[in-house]
Amino acid sequence: MEKIKDLLTGVEFTPTRSDQRFATRENQIRYNNLKARQKRSAKAEIDRALDTNRNILRRLLNDRKEVIKSYDYLSGAGFNFGISTHKIEREGKLLSCVYEYALMNIKDEQFLITKT
């Protein structure tokens, strides 16, 4: 059988299976953990901002069905308006969502916050 290079270490080895890409199971685990860490690291800044936004909206809404807050209030609380998870259309208006919470600009920098 032909020798191949381990994807993690670059060491040549003779595979025992046709689909084997690593010399040892430990190398495969380390390689996949490194890839997962790189992926988490690349997303970390946005995930932190989304988490902060969600916590602010959750705290403001609490047990209420909806609440109105100003742009200044939300900004002062640390809300990042540039980051959302998705947009939905409701009653002809576009709502910016952060997970299960939605913001709709209703008038003069006033935002209606609801749970979707």
- pLDDT, tens digit, 9 for 90 and up, residues 86-113: 999 988 889 999 999 999 999 889 999 9
Please write the tens of the pLDDT for every residue from 2-32.
Answer: 999 999 999 999 999 999 999 999 999 999 9
pLDDT value at residue 107: 86
* Rounded (10°) CA dihedral 98, 99, 103, 104: 120
Please write the tens of the pLDDT for every residue from 59-77.
Answer: 999 999 999 999 999 999 9
Both structure tokens of 8: 């993690």
SS3 of 6-39: the string is CCCCCCEECCCCCCCCCCCHHHHHHHHHHHHHHH
Main-chain dihedrals φ then ψ at residue 74, nearest 5 degrees: -65, -40
Sign of dihedral through CA atoms 60, 97, 54, 72? negative
pLDDT at 53 over 90: yes
Both structure tokens of 88: 């939905």
* H or E segment to which residue 98 belongs: strand 93-98
Query: Residue 112: CB partners within 8 Å, gap ≥ 6?
Result: 66, 67, 68, 103, 104, 106
